[in-house]
Chain A
């Protein structure tokens, strides 16, 4: 049982963001809004070749462009380029145009290599170009993992299916691109970073620039999303710092959308071959999974809150007594992967949940029944039952492909597990209570956009008997007591217990100093007044028995598929989620809405397209890297299970895990054939329906 109060007044309610007004009125200063005195624009020159040996970078002509104040190479001496878009040099100046002109004036002497490979299947071939000189693109013998006796088990099954399911590389595209404003002077370095980890950026910059930690301060007042890509300062942060030092002025270097698409992280692809077998009653008995995917030139060093590797959990949330899993990663000449909202899980869920529905069809079973039969987790069992009722599963379900007419309807569901989501034990914070009753919390955490300030205010208001708007919250500064990186869905579970501890200590101290038996609520101002002239400052930290990890979650999707145009319309999603004690229902629902929309983009629209011949990414923009728009977004119904006894658990990641699997299954249910590849585009629907003629050779 958790130590949270049994009865709550503020916790669990729908509290609007305490910083909502400043955000919608434009008063909130995001990293890309920072205008330090005398600041300069910074920009990066990127490789236009997918593979090259750079022997020299001459910046002299760039420095002579009017308005240019500094230019720096990404490294001294010769170096190797391994993908299109890799950084070569950077410039800063008084206008964007000056920087653009300067980038074009940089002279790069390069030995351009024509041997490169940008697509996974090509990279696996024996005669493929090598991304790294040191060895082949993929390990020769993938690591196999076997439990039980798989071959024997398959022969004991009554139904066996084999399927191939693939997912594309998904690009990190937060609303605010990556970037920093950096001021590096004799006194030290200040970075206004768009980051989800101010401490990790501070440590990273200090390490890269050989500075004492005490000389580096990172500030992130507001930032526009990170999703796993923004734990480090990145190459762009280090370049901004070097430019600032050389130019003796603050440098703002925010990436463009084009930059963002190439070099700062993505979700690895997956190519999953899955074989499952079950007994006649649906009990899973044997599983064999082979998967490979690409993390580009490798998993990025900036992954922070989770791996950026290509492995996925198999057989995902199910326990199968006999399993064999082989996974490998293949390198290609493309930007490296980074942690991406629930690394490994959306592709893991999509592949396994697709296979489950294919198996259900073979068994002639309702796929929800197959899940209830096999899902070992009691919380998901509850969620499936609750969700099925809200969604109307039993009324809506019909056999795959049995929907009549040209526009067919279908439904599907899928489940999620997220192994993290618990708190960071190192989280600390301060509160200053003034004699006039005002109170300010200072935590060295950042608000990645999920409403961390509001979570802190809600917890404090609850424990102090105040209203959330009476609490001032300051976050996003490494001068405050240290907080966690916002990754692994840990933030709420980290700060809530720390604030709990601060409040308990504040109340105890106030009681002592004021002589009042209870300083909360209506006694608050009287108690504070007794402080006299000195504010009370208390320090607190994360405490046990207030948070937990491992959230579940299931989602149901309903689609319409136009079998003549191939267009999939997502009509409805019911998202059933648990995350322990609900702190703020409103920001929680927002995160789930966002997770569903992101999952929808993964299912239907998003895909990095690489060109074999030129080695470039063809869609580094929102015109052809397609994201869901408001006209695409369905009716989303969020159903929450409040479990105060578990304490606080993060929700950010599980919310996006099952969406793609549920949508893919709904499409299968509608048209009766499997589109085994994301995104599910009109072209793939028409192909699956056997309507596409062969190509005519030119």
Chain B
């Protein structure tokens, strides 16, 4: 990697000042150090934000829970209250990478992580995402790529937490230009839908401070399918959250991960499910709606039936035996 300055900060103001245009925030470092070592990005300053006060806590409010951006994925996985209140979040955290990675990976880093597209990650290919002329994956080896995209890049978002946070209607609180800005998950990734160079909507100085999750939905579930049984990326992930009142779904949300540059939600599916009794037929119809406009490529069409199955299973899991 190229040489860089290293600084540990104790306030968000100095974090922002030091990171400026060419620095990078360092928390768990799982993604950042890999990018630096492969010369995929460079940073003149690494700003260690792990000592920023107050960002490593999980706080339980009556209507809203707050998860600091420095909370580790393992902290979420091991938090008994989260498991009870947001079981889908627990499940998503538990499926992230390996125990060692979960121990240091943070919520902020998981949300902000870059594309895993193997053309982007390759040191000697100059793809669209690296200011090159073409997307190699589109007519190449696209087995891990998107079924949906709003631009010519087909690398999908891979954050498992983003998938479940989207279904839970969570809000990211981002420090932007010295002010706290509230962004929905859709807003947090919007730019990746439009712009092949982006993997989220954050600018270099933007810093995710925390995530707020409304307790509106008492039931949630997450499932992912991978090539292997552990320590493998999701081929497709699915998260769902809802409340069930009088046997009927209320404000349900279903989200897919790893099949689009953004967490994939289809409003028509959510509104179809609203007020319905959850059964095989409704789950199947919701899955049909969510995948209706999928554009499978040569090697990733298997993700369509796979996503379909995961949607049905995740939805039926919401019924639970609670």
Q: Which residues of A contact B (CB under 8 A)?
A: 48, 84, 97, 100, 564-567, 569, 604-605, 609, 611-614, 616, 618-619, 623-624, 626, 628-632, 681-683, 686-687, 691-696, 698
Q: Are B229 and A612 in contact (CB under 8 A)?
A: no
A614 and B136 in contact, given A564-B305, A631-B230 (Cβ under 8 angstroms): yes
Nearest chain B CB to A559 CB, angstrom units: 13
Q: Are A631 and B235 in contact (CB under 8 A)?
A: no
Q: Are A566 and B302 in contact (CB under 8 A)?
A: yes
B228 contacts A by Cβ under 8 Å: yes
Q: List 22 A-B contacts (CB under 8 A).
A: A48-B123, A48-B124, A564-B306, A565-B225, A566-B225, A604-B227, A605-B228, A609-B141, A611-B125, A611-B140, A616-B122, A626-B227, A626-B232, A629-B230, A629-B232, A631-B229, A631-B231, A682-B227, A683-B235, A686-B302, A693-B304, A695-B297
Q: Are A613 and B305 in contact (CB under 8 A)?
A: no
In this complex, which of B119, B136, B139, B306 has the most chain A Cβ atoms within 10 angstroms of its Cβ?
B306
Nearest chain A CB to B130 CB, angstrom units: 12
A-B pairs, top 3 by smallest CB distance, nearest first, are A564-B309, A631-B230, A683-B302
Across-interface contacts of A693 in B (CB, < 8 A): 296, 301, 304-305
A624 and B296 CA atoms in complex are apart in Å by: 21
A691 and B306 CA atoms in complex are apart in Å by: 9
Across-interface contacts of B144 in A (CB, < 8 A): 624
Q: Are A614 and B125 in contact (CB under 8 A)?
A: yes
B230-273 CB mask vs A (1 if < 8 Å, else 0) is 11110100000000000000000000000000000000000000
B290-322 CB mask vs A (1 if < 8 Å, else 0) is 000011111101101110011001000000000
Across-interface contacts of B139 in A (CB, < 8 A): 613
B110-144 CB mask vs A (1 if < 8 Å, else 0) is 00000010110111110000000000101111011
Across-interface contacts of A630 in B (CB, < 8 A): 230
Q: Which residues of B contact A (CB under 8 A)?
A: 1, 3, 116, 118-119, 121-125, 136, 138-141, 143-144, 225-233, 235, 294-299, 301-302, 304-306, 309-310, 313
Q: Are B228 and A631 in contact (CB under 8 A)?
A: yes
Q: Are B124 and A566 in contact (CB under 8 A)?
A: no
Nearest chain A CB to B227 CB, angstrom units: 6
Chain A residue at smallest Cβ distance from B299: A683
Across-interface contacts of A48 in B (CB, < 8 A): 123-124
Q: Are A605 and B227 in contact (CB under 8 A)?
A: yes
Across-interface contacts of B231 in A (CB, < 8 A): 629, 631
Q: Are B225 and A683 in contact (CB under 8 A)?
A: no
Q: Are A614 and B124 in contact (CB under 8 A)?
A: yes
A691 and B139 CA atoms in complex are apart in Å by: 22
Chain A residue at smallest Cβ distance from B224: A565
Q: Are B302 and A687 in contact (CB under 8 A)?
A: yes
Across-interface contacts of A84 in B (CB, < 8 A): 124
Q: Are B306 and A565 in contact (CB under 8 A)?
A: yes
Across-interface contacts of A618 in B (CB, < 8 A): 118-119, 122, 141
Q: Are A624 and B118 in contact (CB under 8 A)?
A: yes
Across-interface contacts of B228 in A (CB, < 8 A): 605, 626, 628-629, 631-632
Chain B residue at smallest Cβ distance from A628: B228
Q: Are B306 and A619 in contact (CB under 8 A)?
A: no
Nearest chain B CB to A51 CB, angstrom units: 14
A632 and B226 CA atoms in complex are apart in Å by: 12
Nearest chain B CB to A85 CB, angstrom units: 9
Nearest chain A CB to B59 CB, angstrom units: 33
Given contacts A97-B1, A686-B306, A693-B304, 10 further A-B contacts (CB under 8 A): A48-B123, A567-B225, A611-B119, A623-B116, A631-B231, A682-B227, A682-B302, A683-B143, A693-B305, A698-B138
Chain A residue at smallest Cβ distance from B116: A623
A682 and B230 in contact, given A619-B118, A696-B295 (Cβ under 8 angstroms): no
Q: Could you say which of A613, A614, A695 contacts B296, with CB atoms under 8 Å apart?
A: A695
Chain B residue at smallest Cβ distance from A48: B124
Q: Are B122 and A692 in contact (CB under 8 A)?
A: no
A692 and B225 in contact, given A611-B141, A614-B136 (Cβ under 8 angstroms): no
Q: Are A692 and B143 in contact (CB under 8 A)?
A: no
Nearest chain A CB to B258 CB, angstrom units: 13
A695 and B297 CA atoms in complex are apart in Å by: 5
Across-interface contacts of B3 in A (CB, < 8 A): 97
Q: Are A682 and B306 in contact (CB under 8 A)?
A: yes
In this complex, which of B228, B235, B309, B313 has the most chain A Cβ atoms within 10 angstroms of its Cβ?
B228
Chain A residue at smallest Cβ distance from B223: A565
Chain A residue at smallest Cβ distance from B147: A696
Chain B residue at smallest Cβ distance from A406: B309
Chain A residue at smallest Cβ distance from B235: A682
Q: Are B309 and A565 in contact (CB under 8 A)?
A: yes
Nearest chain B CB to A677 CB, angstrom units: 13
Q: Are A566 and B306 in contact (CB under 8 A)?
A: yes
Q: Could you say which of A565, A611, A695 contacts B301, with CB atoms under 8 Å apart?
A: A695
Chain B residue at smallest Cβ distance from A691: B305
Across-interface contacts of B121 in A (CB, < 8 A): 623
A623 and B305 CA atoms in complex are apart in Å by: 24
A694 and B295 CA atoms in complex are apart in Å by: 10
Q: Could you say which of B124, B299, B304, B306 contacts A616, with CB atoms under 8 Å apart?
A: B124
A618 and B118 CA atoms in complex are apart in Å by: 6
Across-interface contacts of A694 in B (CB, < 8 A): 296, 301
Across-interface contacts of A616 in B (CB, < 8 A): 122, 124-125
Nearest chain A CB to B140 CB, angstrom units: 6
Across-interface contacts of A686 in B (CB, < 8 A): 302, 305-306
Q: Are A692 and B309 in contact (CB under 8 A)?
A: no
Across-interface contacts of A632 in B (CB, < 8 A): 228-230
Nearest chain B CB to A382 CB, angstrom units: 34
In this complex, which of B1, B125, B144, B298 has the most chain A Cβ atoms within 10 angstroms of its Cβ?
B125
Nearest chain A CB to B158 CB, angstrom units: 11
Q: Could you say which of B125, B138, B229, B296 contacts A629, with CB atoms under 8 Å apart?
A: B229
Across-interface contacts of A682 in B (CB, < 8 A): 225, 227, 235, 302, 306
A565 and B122 CA atoms in complex are apart in Å by: 28
Chain A residue at smallest Cβ distance from B308: A564
Across-interface contacts of B136 in A (CB, < 8 A): 611, 613-614
Across-interface contacts of B143 in A (CB, < 8 A): 683
Across-interface contacts of B123 in A (CB, < 8 A): 48
Chain B residue at smallest Cβ distance from A46: B124
Chain A residue at smallest Cβ distance from B236: A565
A525 and B319 CA atoms in complex are apart in Å by: 76
Nearest chain A CB to B152 CB, angstrom units: 9
Chain A residue at smallest Cβ distance from B231: A629
Across-interface contacts of A624 in B (CB, < 8 A): 118, 144
A630 and B229 CA atoms in complex are apart in Å by: 9
Across-interface contacts of A569 in B (CB, < 8 A): 229
Across-interface contacts of A623 in B (CB, < 8 A): 116, 121, 233
Across-interface contacts of B294 in A (CB, < 8 A): 696
Nearest chain B CB to A195 CB, angstrom units: 28
Across-interface contacts of B304 in A (CB, < 8 A): 692-693
A520 and B180 CA atoms in complex are apart in Å by: 83
A692 and B294 CA atoms in complex are apart in Å by: 12
Across-interface contacts of B227 in A (CB, < 8 A): 604-605, 626, 681-682
In this complex, which of B119, B144, B229 has the most chain A Cβ atoms within 10 angstroms of its Cβ?
B229
Across-interface contacts of A681 in B (CB, < 8 A): 227
Q: Are B295 and A698 in contact (CB under 8 A)?
A: yes
A248 and B139 CA atoms in complex are apart in Å by: 50
A619 and B141 CA atoms in complex are apart in Å by: 11
Nearest chain A CB to B123 CB, angstrom units: 8
Q: Are A692 and B138 in contact (CB under 8 A)?
A: no
A628 and B116 CA atoms in complex are apart in Å by: 20
Nearest chain B CB to A293 CB, angstrom units: 20
Chain B residue at smallest Cβ distance from A85: B124
Across-interface contacts of A695 in B (CB, < 8 A): 296-298, 301
Nearest chain A CB to B155 CB, angstrom units: 13
Across-interface contacts of A687 in B (CB, < 8 A): 302
Q: Could you say which of B122, B140, B309 contacts A612, with CB atoms under 8 Å apart?
A: B140
Across-interface contacts of A696 in B (CB, < 8 A): 294-297
